[in-house]
């Protein structure tokens, strides 16, 4: 059984770098996320290579389209053998329900289906600019409620919202949190951040970590240090 909490965001522009990293770590020490950059460069072939190496792969393409299109995209993701796939909660309950329905044909082997709430790179001002008058915490809570009501397995949110969402949606509702920064790491474009230890204490299920690992001089060692810090609690 894989109880790794860290999902490494493989945001590389080189397939060689991504596979070298994958070959330098144990598939039980982390899960891997393939996002828009790598999928656009290297497509399903890369995902299949990672799955073949026994990694749990989170395909982070954040589907957001009409319900039929998103449902079919979820089927295509499941056929790649990914562990987790996501859609945007702001696509609405019809879109989320259709995604879940589309995955039922895979039975117990279906990927975990989660919904993006408010991107962790967004502040209150960024949200207001898009016409949303709620705070990030309020909007995350609203969209998480919609995702839960639509039958999804969980949401992408920031670790800052984790305690409230576990109370609101229950402990089984998966919380997947980017915006994780070990102490001293550059924040970059992330706005709503927490350290790995804070995120663990807040109750997140999986923490997505990219640059602090992938841009480290020794990415495998950076992952190891984060995993060790999580074991110390
Ligand atoms: O709200 C979101 C949703 C997805 N992401 C993705 O997570 C990683 C984070 O990478 P870092 O280098 O650790 O910032 C990246 O692939 C994003 O596309 C997110 O950050 N926030």
Q: What is the mean pLDDT of each run of 10 residues along the chain (233 residues)?
A: 94 96 98 98 98 98 98 98 98 98 98 98 98 98 98 98 98 98 97 98 98 97 98 82
Nearest atom, ligand 1, residue 117 CA? 1
Taking the centre of ligand 1 as the mean of its atom positions, its distance from the CA of residue 179, in whole angstroms, is 6
| Strands (E) located in 91-168 | 112-116, 154-156
Residue whose CA is closest, atom 18 of ligand 1? 35
Nearest atom, ligand 1, residue 35 CA? 16
Residue whose CA is closest, atom 20 of ligand 1? 178
Q: Where are the alpha helices (DSSP H) in 170-208?
A: 196-202
Nearest atom, ligand 1, residue 190 CA? 14
ipTM score for this prediction = 0.99
The CATH fold assigned to 6-232 is TIM Barrel (3.20.20)
Torsion of CA 46, 51, 56, 59, to 10 degrees: 40
Cβ of 226 less than 6 Å from ligand 1: no
| CA 122 to the chain's CA centroid | 16
pTM equals 0.98
Residue 112: the pLDDT is 98
Taking the centre of ligand 1 as the mean of its atom positions, its distance from the CA of residue 178, in whole angstroms, is 5
Give the residue carrying structure tokens 């039980």.
28
Give the residue carrying structure tokens 């860290």.
6
* Cα–Cα distance, 42 to 19 (Å, whole number): 12
Rg over CA atoms, the chain:
17
Residue 233: the pLDDT is 65
State how far the alpha carbon of 185 is from the alpha carbons of 12, 21, 202, in Å: 18, 20, 20
Residue 118: the pLDDT is 98
Residue 1: the pLDDT is 75
Taking the centre of ligand 1 as the mean of its atom positions, its distance from the CA of residue 198, in whole angstroms, is 17
């Amino acid at each position: 059984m894989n109880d790794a909490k860290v999902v490494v965001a493989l945001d590389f522009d080189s397939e060689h770098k991504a596979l070298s990293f994958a070959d330098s770590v144990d598939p039980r020490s982390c899960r891997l996320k393939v996002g828009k950059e790598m999928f656009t460069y290297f497509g399903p072939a890369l995902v299949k290579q990672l799955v073949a190496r026994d990694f749990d792969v989170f395909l982070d393409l954040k589907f957001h389209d009409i319900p039929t299109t998103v449902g079919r995209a979820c089927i295509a993701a499941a056929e790649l053998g990914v562990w987790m796939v996501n859609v945007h909660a702001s696509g609405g309950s019809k879109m989320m329900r259709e995604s879940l329905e589309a995955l039922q044909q895979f039975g117990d082997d279906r990927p975990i289906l989660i919904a993006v709430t408010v991107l962790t790179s967004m502040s209150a001002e960024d949200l207001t600019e898009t016409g949303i008058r709620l705070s990030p915490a309020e909007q995350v809570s609203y969209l998480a409620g919609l995702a839960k009501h639509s039958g999804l397995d969980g949401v992408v949110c920031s670790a800052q919202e984790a305690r409230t969402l576990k109370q609101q949606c229950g402990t089984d509702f998966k919380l997947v949190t980017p915006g994780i920064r070990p102490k001293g790491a550059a924040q970059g474009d992330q706005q709503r951040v927490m350290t790995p230890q804070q995120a663990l204490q807040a109750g997140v299920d999986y923490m997505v970590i990219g640059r602090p690992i992938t841009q480290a001089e020794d990415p495998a060692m950076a992952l190891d240090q984060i995993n060790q810090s999580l074991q110390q609690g």
